Amino acid sequence: MNHPMNWTTLLIFLAVLAAFFIFRQMSQVSSDAAKQYLRKGAVVIDVRGPDEYASGHLPGTVNVPLGELSGRISKVSPDKNHVILLHCQSGGRSGMAAGTLKSLGYTNAYNLGSYSRAKGILSGAQNK
């Protein structure tokens, strides 16, 4: 038996999934811009939980879990114009964190993306 509804559902699911990944890529700061910000002293915040951070983190990062960001950001970066780069495991929480900081008046908060992307960008910025 042929079930056209199954194919339609599958195509819709794939389109939504593709849109999600495209949107996530668009919401991340470019590699080149991030490297420039790092060379000028940007703060890098890892918004993963403390257990995730303890199991492995990037050198020079500060751990401020997403749920604690609003309450702790003024101690980590009191200057709302200072560049802040955020990352997490996959890039989702860091995207939310960038939005939270912008709503709090931080003008230069950017989503660095996933742990692996952040690792590549941080190591690339140190090598130049």
What structural domains and CATH numbers belong to the chain?
4-126 (3.40.250.10)
Mean pLDDT of each 10-residue bin along the chain, 128 residues long: 69 72 66 94 97 96 97 96 96 92 95 95 74
**Predicted model pTM:** 0.79
DSSP the chain: ---HHHHHHHHHHHHHHHHHHHHHHHTBPPHHHHHHHHHTT-EEEE-S-HHHHHT---TT-EE--GGGHHHHHHHH---TTS-EEEE-SSSHHHHHHHHHHHHTT-TTEEEEESHHHHHHHHHHHHT-
What is the pLDDT, as a whole number, of residue 54? 97
